[in-house]
Structure 1
């Protein structure tokens, strides 16, 4: 929790986290399937109860539950990645809590997980792009085809992507590159903006690369070095951050 508190204390108001489900359905804020070596515990989280997982410490601190994170930062937007299929149903239940849905965005490498969240909430929930959508966005930007604006929320029903609209997600959350292929390019960002989409890039810790991304007008940068990003933005007169800055 200290890392999140530190980022919010610096002035960030968009966080990103991963969640794992315990055997009794509690969502732990944790990236890896296994407690070791990131924490002082051992075992696979999905095979442990929350009571067992809660005994582990990361740099002396307990692993927080997603519910704790949402309650602690009720005025901050949070991007959440369910790392396993078992985490999706508890996440859907967490999103049903009052005041949660409008301040989160759900992302995943798994199209199936995103589809399950989409089936539950339709366009009421913010979704990041699946890998398939990222590939489609890149191809469309290269082809130079006219960008169709994303329909507003009221135009969608749960689980149904409208016909003739290529994207389900609202945010293209992309790495700098996929293998040797650069993704975070001016052409892709411009195309996404014409389509009414935001572009977030992960995970960027180099200040030179941060500056390049700001130059091509990305909407968000995910970083493990929030002080570095703060310094880059402050030198440009862009701090306090807008909604895109993230840690």
Structure 2
């Protein structure tokens, strides 16, 4: 297969521009101000993090503790939503609930990193209640957590590749092995016009790991042969963005959305929402 999977979440005319936590280098991360900033720039894709309050409300929050990003303290998981709603983040607004973002930004597509086991149930419920299955891509550094989310949606929601699956792909690309040997079980790729894929639609990786290049021409080619889009995080330098786009990556996650937009505009690959 020469092209990435045609999943609803991925349908876009050019490389995906994903604002990391809403563009945390240009606005307070995971805040309403960040959402408004990226929307004003024409970004359609919001990379974010999900954790749950003590009463099962999904909040867009990276850290387990509230200290760094809000005027609150301690673990989010020990607070009810009523308590969190009274706090203010670095932009001066209340922290964001996932349900509000899904309702207020219906054209937005979200790449959501589930940061803890306890958020899986509430996350599945809120996405389902909003009818947002085609608007999200679920990710996690936990393979077990990712399997739970895939199973909960019956494989009908886009996900990224799991950590172990990604490691096998990186090793296979480095060894230049045949695509079929890259995984113990091949990806299930739908026929054109068929249902959404039941497994991962993207591999999301840093350019390097431990000083070793991850995103190379063989890696991109192998991912594409397996029906996977390649998204690279977190890239803030224009030169690095250009190099990765020249390699054929399908999306870039950045804290500097203005920089990425300028790079894509210069290449004639910036496609704002219709």
Q: What is the TM-score normalised by the length of structure 1? A: 0.88
Partner of 1:160: none
Tell me the CA shift for residue 197 of structure 1: 0.6
Between the two proteins, the alignment pairs up a number of residues equal to 232
Query: Structure 2 matches for 1:82-231, cutoff 5 A?
Result: 82-147=114-179, 150-152=188-190, 154=195, 168-231=199-262
SS of the equivalent of 2:154 reads helix
Label 1:21 to 1:71 Cα distance change in 2 as closer, same or farther (>3 A): same
The two structures, once aligned, show a CA RMSD in angstroms of 1.8
SS of the equivalent of 1:214 reads helix
Higher relative contact order (CA 8 A, sep 6+): 2
Partners of 1:170 and 1:155 in 2: how far apart? 9
Tell me the CA shift for residue 51 of structure 1: 0.9
User: Tell me, which stretches of 5 or more residues in structure 1 are unaligned?
Assistant: 158-167, 243-247
Partners of 2:98 and 2:108 in 1: how far apart? 14
User: Tell me, which stretches of 5 or more residues in structure 2 are unaligned?
Assistant: 1-31, 181-186
Contact 1:23 1:48 (8 Å CA) reproduced? yes
Q: What is the TM-score normalised by the length of structure 2? A: 0.80
SS of the equivalent of 2:126 reads helix
Partners of 1:94 and 1:86 in 2: how far apart? 14
Partners of 2:105 and 2:138 in 1: how far apart? 17
Tell me the CA shift for residue 156 of structure 1: 7.4
